[in-house]
Amino acid sequence: MEKPKNKQETCAYVMVIFGATGDLALNKLIPSLFSLFNQKKLPVNFSVIGFSRREMTDSQFRNHFENLKNKKGWDKFSKILSYQKGDFQDKNAYLELIDKLELLDKKYGDCITRLFYLATPPQNYDVILDFMEDTKLSKGVGQNTYNQTKIIIEKPFGKDLDTAKALDQKLYKTFKEEQIFRVDHYLGKETIQNMLAFRFANGIFEPVWNNKFIDHVQITFAESKGIDGRGKFFDGVGILRDVAQNHLMQILAAVAMEQPISFEREAIRDARAKVIEAIRPVEPKEVGEYTVRGQYEGYTGEKDVEPDSKTGTYTAVKLFVDTERFRGIPFYLRAGKMMPKNSVYVSIVFIQTCHILFKEYGCPEIGNVLTIKIQPDEGITLRVIAKKPQEKLALDTVNMKFTYKGEFGGEIKDAYEKILLDIFEGDQMLFNRSDELQSSWKFITKILEGWEMQLKSSKWKMPKYKKGTWGPKESLDLIEKDGRKWIEV
Ligand code: BG6
């Protein structure tokens, strides 16, 4: 006789995606759900309701995913997608959504986890949360299911420290912490997770991972694309809030955190939170010395961008992490759109200590550099100095290289697949806790204040850069005035 299935295994999941016709759903959420479906990793009973302003039928919504609809498995998968037209300001739309959800409740019974995914521009979060509370949409269904409602909220979480705190307060009015999933998909990237294994599982790196051996750290987040038609979102946000406050901070945390006391959820989150809190503030009056921003030429002509917009599409920041391990070591961070290539990486540049014996044989100016390539061509390279193969003694640098593809084969999965699986399981380790977010906002908000002050000064002009270059000239000055250079990978 067939073993009866564990009730938990057959429990259903219903995901409501607010902003379901937007960029995130189109490029990340639905493709990742589809991929999980093909790998048989989606819960057996699973439905998605897209909620957006646009007038659409269920079938038009399914056809909206042009680049997926000819792929194997799509016909079967797309049956789980349905659509609810709704203006986020209109209470009736939420009531109609509840009717739809109740039909699914009847189909699935009482064991349902409802997942509400806020995939809209952040300015809509308040009104959506208000109506969720007002209409009791947030309460879940059936008996005892209050705790099984989860709210998933995309970055940027707020616009600055105060708005991030206010958003938390609003969430706490309705949800408990274990129901809240604050997404930063960089936490789900394989290569960022590997940084912890690399640092703490290999005994040879830990002893040199400190200010006695490291000269400085560089983090580069370069994208060759521009804002890709996302003017409505991007112009109100800018690159500092879009990727620096979150993705760059998470990369920095993986480089600089202390060893967590365990690999349990709260231990990892504690270690991340501590290191972000230890970042020395850049005071508003210091932004000229420690930060750069820039805008690519032609940005103000993009769709949905203000013609006189002062939003940055490039930023570079020099900062210090005041922990015993990293005291005095500069971290140079840069992020930009319309860069010469797509490349996200960290370079740990070690102090150059060419032994006195070799000085006269041409010691390279920069010696050991450990580069962790987050994407593409995920992998790790260690630059070492070697003797050139010739009779006379001469030195040069060479790379020792590991790539994921070369060693493990296959493609690295999109981080959203990991993020979604963790949401189903209720595992919050790779989601932001509010204290780490607040620490990073504390740091970013002072820079934003300094930039506001610059804007008010009649002398200040937004530095511009040509598309396909590494940002404005000022970004070179930021690092070169310290006698260092950006490393290009
Ligand atoms: C998003 C930003 O969070 O990350 C985008 O809003 C950016 O502007 C994207 O392009 C980069 O993510 P990935 O996974 O493609 O590196």
- One-letter amino acid of 248: L
Cis before residue 307, ω within 30 degrees of 0? no
Compute the mean pLDDT over every residue in the chain, rounded to the nearest whole number: 93
DSSP 410-458: SPPPPHHHHHHHHHHHT--TTSB-HHHHHHHHHHHHHHHHHHHHHHHST
Determine which residue's CA is closest to atom 10 belonging to ligand 1.
223
Q: For residue 155, which atom of ligand 1 is closest to its CA?
A: 3
pLDDT confidence of residue 10? 72
* Residue 336: closest CA among 363, 382, 296: 296
- DSSP assignment, residue 259? P
Q: For residue 189, which atom of ligand 1 is closest to its CA?
A: 14
pLDDT band at 2 (very low <50, low <70, confident <90, very high): very low
Residue 1 has pLDDT above 50, yes or no: no
Q: How far is the CA of 298 from the centre of ligand 1 (A)?
A: 21
Percent of the chain clearing pLDDT 70 (strictly above): 96
Q: How far is the CA of 36 from the centre of ligand 1 (A)?
A: 20
* CA dist., res. 186 & res. 105, Å (int): 34
Pairing outcome for strands 149-153 and 180-182: parallel
Under 8 Å between Cβ of 273 and 266: no
* Residue 397: closest CA among 355, 373, 365: 365
Determine which residue's CA is closest to atom 9 belonging to ligand 1.
243
**Residue among 32, 155, 185 whose CB has most ligand 1 atoms within 8 A, to mutate:** 185
Which range is least confidently modeled, 48-57, 187-196, 348-357? 348-357
Quick one: average pLDDT of 362-385? 92
Residue 487 has pLDDT above 60, yes or no: yes
The pocket around ligand 1, CB under 6 angstroms, is made up of 223, 242-243
Q: How far is the CA of 99 from the centre of ligand 1 (A)?
A: 35
Residue 112 has pLDDT above 50, yes or no: yes
Residue 296 has pLDDT above 70, yes or no: yes
Under 8 Å between Cβ of 56 and 63: no
Q: How far is CA 35 from CA 161, 205, 418, in A?
A: 36, 36, 11
The answer to whether 7-154 and 187-480 have equal CATH topology is: no
CATH number for the domain formed by residue range(s) 187-480: 3.30.360.10
* Residue 42: closest CA among 69, 71, 13, 16: 13
Which positions are annotated as active-site residues? 247
**Residue among 243, 248, 413 whose CB has most ligand 1 atoms within 8 A, to mutate:** 243
Q: What digits encode the pLDDT tens for the residues 156-183?
A: 999 999 999 999 999 999 999 999 999 9
Quick one: average pLDDT of 391-405? 89
Determine which residue's CA is closest to atom 6 belonging to ligand 1.
242
Which residues share a beta bridge with 335?
221, 315
Q: How far is the CA of 181 from the centre of ligand 1 (A)?
A: 18
Residue 357 has pLDDT above 90, yes or no: no
Listed by start position, the domains of the chain span: 7-154, 187-480
Q: For residue 344, which atom of ligand 1 is closest to its CA?
A: 16
The radius of gyration of the chain's CA atoms, rounded to the nearest angstrom, is: 24
- DSSP assignment, residue 179? G
- DSSP assignment, residue 323? S
pLDDT band at 90 (very low <50, low <70, confident <90, very high): very high
DSSP 323-362: STTTTT-EEEEEEESS-SS-EEEEEEEEP----GGGGGGT
**Owner of token pair 């936490």:** 187
Is residue 300 exposed (0-12), middle (13-18) or buried (19+ Cβ within 10 Å)?
middle
* CA dist., res. 354 & res. 98, Å (int): 69
Under 8 Å between Cβ of 152 and 116: yes
Quick one: average pLDDT of 35-42? 96
pLDDT band at 335 (very low <50, low <70, confident <90, very high): very high
* Residue 419: closest CA among 186, 197, 262: 186
Q: Which residues of 203-216 are buried (b: 16+ CB within 10 A; e: fewer)?
A: eeeeeebeeeebbb
pLDDT confidence of residue 360? 73
Under 8 Å between Cβ of 348 and 214: yes
pLDDT band at 145 (very low <50, low <70, confident <90, very high): low
Q: How far is the CA of 342 from the centre of ligand 1 (A)?
A: 11
Determine which residue's CA is closest to atom 4 belonging to ligand 1.
243
Q: How far is the CA of 170 from the centre of ligand 1 (A)?
A: 26
Q: For residue 415, which atom of ligand 1 is closest to its CA?
A: 14
- DSSP assignment, residue 429? T
Quick one: average pLDDT of 409-428? 93
Residue 147 has pLDDT above 70, yes or no: no
Q: What digits encode the pLDDT tens for the residues 204-220?
A: 999 999 999 999 999 99
Residue 3 has pLDDT above 60, yes or no: no
Is residue 134 exposed (0-12), middle (13-18) or buried (19+ Cβ within 10 Å)?
exposed
Q: For residue 414, which atom of ligand 1 is closest to its CA?
A: 14
Q: How far is the CA of 344 from the centre of ligand 1 (A)?
A: 11
Residue 4 has pLDDT above 50, yes or no: no
pLDDT band at 303 (very low <50, low <70, confident <90, very high): very high
pLDDT confidence of residue 356? 65
pLDDT confidence of residue 144? 54
* Residue 333: closest CA among 412, 269, 279: 279
Please enumerate in sequence order all residues whose Cβ is within 8 A of that of 197, keeping only pairs 6 or more positions apart, or say none: none
Phi, psi of 42 (to 5 degrees): -80, 145
pLDDT band at 281 (very low <50, low <70, confident <90, very high): very high
Q: Which two three-digit tokens encode residue 90?
A: 């209109």
Q: What digits encode the pLDDT tens for the residues 228-253?
A: 999 989 999 999 999 999 999 999 99
Q: For residue 154, which atom of ligand 1 is closest to its CA?
A: 3
**Residue among 184, 187, 223 whose CB has most ligand 1 atoms within 8 A, to mutate:** 223
* CA dist., res. 154 & res. 120, Å (int): 8
Quick one: average pLDDT of 381-393? 88
The domain made up of 7-154 is a member of CATH 3.40.50.720: yes
Quick one: average pLDDT of 312-341? 98
